[in-house]
């Protein structure tokens, strides 16, 4: 055990020796070590968050054919720090009729719900917060706290726009949680475990995105909806309700909502990478190239994958127009939910029937089943669309007396 192969345990053992040699009880030393570890992990997440602000601003600028921040520091890298100073010294305005306690708790909870997810994010096989055996359920539970913070913000602001935004967000989030939980079941079935490390290690030979590409797509879509980012950003539709649930927030409280959203998007990029793209693994190459097994290198690989996921989420955000609420709910309840349940049933049956067969055969069969399901879905959608068009045509055709009357 040395610093390169196992940095966390190396430092932890050294510190534990230091603490117990001063006469501290072993249990108390554990608490102190946990405390230090958690603070370091959260500070890392916060620093990453500051960097993400810069990434987001730079990328959106490129999407909109602008340059983005480029004045302060090289490539505008110091810009987010300037933003933070601005937000901190801004006056914090609380609207007169607001419910003060809930109003002030909401941004804290919004940020805390994201930070909590970092407890289970496995950056490398030996760098992670905690390897819970119910990590997948923990992910769902911590996500629900984010919903709560938005209801609290919208309700406590005493503002009708904020309340409307909160209403919409709740409808959006609780609807898309169903396909998300169902697609979380798919890696659970394939890996036979709910622990994040177990799921990552189960993908050492073949990534789950090959076994269940549709599951990955549904998880990504419902994750974007859970984040409340475009095209599902009805909660803060600028053109109708200005900023939605955080309309009354200013200064650092707004900053917490904003930073929380960015970190949430990145964290979900990380979860997509972990659940479907092999986490910190590289196609099983790490068995042959020992450098890739080193925790620090693996962490860089994982963060790179998460960054790709984050970039895809941004790509969707800046390419798609906002969709209407009835379309959004219909898309979830009439398309994503039935489809995800079909995939769940097929995955369960296939993994049961193929449990004894070699990996390549199981992977091939599962991939082909997914292709067939995708093809059938597209055929059904095409049929529905054709029927609808025919209905509209028969309504608008000159044979109907009303339309003829109009044309004369």
Partner 1 sequence: MQNDWLYIGLFLVIGIIVPIVPLVFSALVAPHKPNPIKQSTYECGIETVGESWIQFKAQYYVFALVFLVFDVETVFLFPWALSINQLPIFAVLEGILFISILVAGLVYTWRKGLLEWV
> Residue 263 Cβ, how far from partner 1 at the closest point, in Å?
11
User: Candidates 107-115, 291-299, 312-320, 394-402 — which segment interacts with partner 1 by CB under 8 A?
Assistant: 107-115
**Among 61, 341, 364, 365, which residue interacts with partner 1 (rule: CB under 8 A)?**
341
- Interactions with partner 1, residue window 127-156 (CB under 8 A): 129-133, 136-138, 155
For residue 38, count other CB atoms closer than 10 A to its CB.
15
**Cis before 352? omega within 30:** no
User: Candidates 215-223, 266-274, 311-319, 334-342 — which segment interacts with partner 1 by CB under 8 A?
Assistant: 334-342
**Among 255, 270, 281, 295, which residue interacts with partner 1 (rule: CB under 8 A)?**
255
Interacting residues of 57 by C-beta distance below 8 A, sequence separation 6+: 68, 69, 76, 79
- 175 touches partner 1 by CB under 8 A: yes
- 174 touches partner 1 by CB under 8 A: yes
> Residue 239 Cβ, how far from partner 1 at the closest point, in Å?
12
**Among 55, 111, 124, 294, which residue interacts with partner 1 (rule: CB under 8 A)?**
111
- 369 touches partner 1 by CB under 8 A: no
> Residue 290 Cβ, how far from partner 1 at the closest point, in Å?
29
**Among 5, 70, 158, 204, which residue interacts with partner 1 (rule: CB under 8 A)?**
158
Nearer residue to partner 1 within complex by CB, 297 or 366: 366
- 79 touches partner 1 by CB under 8 A: no
> Residue 248 Cβ, how far from partner 1 at the closest point, in Å?
6
Q: How many residues bind partner 1 (CB under 8 A)?
A: 83
- 38 touches partner 1 by CB under 8 A: yes
- 20 touches partner 1 by CB under 8 A: no
- Interactions with partner 1, residue window 44-63 (CB under 8 A): 46
> Residue 370 Cβ, how far from partner 1 at the closest point, in Å?
18
The three-state (H, E, C) secondary structure of the chain, written as one string: CCCCCCHHHHHHHHHHHHHHHCCCCHHHHHHHHHHHHHHHHHHHHHHHHHHHHHHHHHHHHHHCCCCCCCCCCHHHCCHHHHHHHHHHHCCCCCCCCCCHHHHHHHHHHHHHHHHHHCCCCCCECCECCCCCCCHHHHHHHHHHHHHHHHHHHHHHCCCHHHHHHHHHHHHHHHHHHHHHHHHHHHHHHHHCCCCHHHHHHHCCCCCHHHHCHHHHHHHHHHHHHHHCCCCCCHHHCHHHHCCHHHCCCCHHHHHHHHHHHHHHHHHHHHHHHHHHCCCCCCCCHHHCCHHHHCHHHHHHHHHHHHHHHHHHHHHHHHHCCCCCHHHHHHHHHHHHHHHHHHHHHHHHHHHHHCCCCCHHHHHHHHHHHHHHHHHHHHHHHHHHHHHHHHHHHHHHCCCCHHHHHHHC
User: Candidates 65-73, 294-302, 323-331, 381-389 — which segment interacts with partner 1 by CB under 8 A?
Assistant: 323-331
User: Candidates 52-60, 209-217, 329-337, 395-403 — which segment interacts with partner 1 by CB under 8 A?
Assistant: 329-337
- Interactions with partner 1, residue window 186-215 (CB under 8 A): 188-189, 192-194
- 34 touches partner 1 by CB under 8 A: yes
Nearer residue to partner 1 within complex by CB, 192 or 359: 192
Q: How far apart are CA 370 and CA 376, in angstroms?
A: 10
Nearer residue to partner 1 within complex by CB, 128 or 277: 128
For residue 56, count other CB atoms closer than 10 A to its CB.
21
- 70 touches partner 1 by CB under 8 A: no
- 362 touches partner 1 by CB under 8 A: no
Q: How far apart are CA 241 and CA 322, in angstroms?
A: 13
Nearer residue to partner 1 within complex by CB, 158 or 204: 158
> Residue 221 Cβ, how far from partner 1 at the closest point, in Å?
17
- 167 touches partner 1 by CB under 8 A: yes
- 26 touches partner 1 by CB under 8 A: no
- 323 touches partner 1 by CB under 8 A: no
Tell me the CA distances in angstroms from 320 to 155, 229, 266, 313, 315, one per residue in order.
Answer: 29, 11, 19, 11, 9
- Interactions with partner 1, residue window 273-292 (CB under 8 A): none
């Amino acid at each position: 055990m040395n610093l390169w192969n196992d940095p966390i345990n190396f430092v932890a053992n050294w510190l534990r020796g230091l603490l117990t040699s001063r006469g501290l009880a072993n249990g108390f030393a554990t608490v102190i070590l946990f405390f230090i570890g958690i603070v370091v992990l959260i500070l890392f997440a916060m620093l990453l968050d500051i960097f993400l602000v810069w990434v987001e601003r730079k990328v959106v600028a490129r999407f909109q054919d602008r340059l983005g921040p480029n004045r302060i520091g090289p490539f505008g890298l110091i810009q987010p720090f300037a933003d933070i100073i601005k937000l901190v010294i801004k006056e914090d305005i609380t609207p007169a009729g607001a419910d003060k306690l809930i109003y002030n708790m909401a941004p804290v909870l919004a940020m805390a719900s994201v930070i909590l997810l970092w407890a289970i994010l496995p950056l490398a096989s030996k760098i992670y917060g905690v390897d819970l055996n119910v990590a997948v359920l923990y992910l769902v539970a911590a996500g629900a706290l984010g919903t709560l913070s938005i209801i609290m913000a919208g309700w406590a602001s005493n503002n009708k726009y904020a309340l409307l935004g909160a209403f919409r967000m709740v409808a959006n989030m609780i609807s898309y949680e169903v396909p998300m939980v169902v697609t979380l079941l798919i890696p659970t079935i394939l890996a036979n475990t709910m622990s994040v490390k177990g799921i990552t290690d189960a993908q050492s030979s073949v990534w789950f995105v090959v076994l269940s590409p549709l599951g990955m797509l549904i998880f990504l879509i419902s994750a974007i909806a859970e984040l409340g980012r475009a095209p599902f950003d009805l909660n803060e539709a600028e053109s109708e309700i200005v900023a939605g649930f955080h309309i009354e927030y200013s200064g650092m409280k707004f900053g917490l909502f904003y930073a929380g959203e960015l970190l949430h998007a990145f964290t979900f990029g990380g979860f997509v990478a972990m659940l479907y793209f092999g986490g910190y693994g590289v196609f099983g190459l790490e068995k042959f190239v020992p450098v890739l097994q080193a925790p620090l290198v693996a962490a860089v690989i994982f963060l790179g994958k998460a960054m790709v996921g984050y970039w895809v989420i941004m790509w969707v955000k800046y390419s798609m127009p906002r969709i209407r609420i009835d379309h959004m709910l219909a898309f979830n309840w009439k398309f994503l939910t039935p489809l995800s349940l079909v995939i769940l049933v097929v995955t369960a049956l296939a993994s049961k029937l193929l449990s004894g067969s070699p990996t390549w055969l199981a992977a091939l069969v599962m991939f082909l089943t997914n292709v067939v399901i995708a093809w059938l879905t597209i055929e059904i959608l095409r049929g529905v669309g054709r029927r609808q068009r025919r209905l509209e045509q028969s309504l608008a055709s000159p044979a109907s007396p009303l339309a003829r009357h109009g044309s004369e």
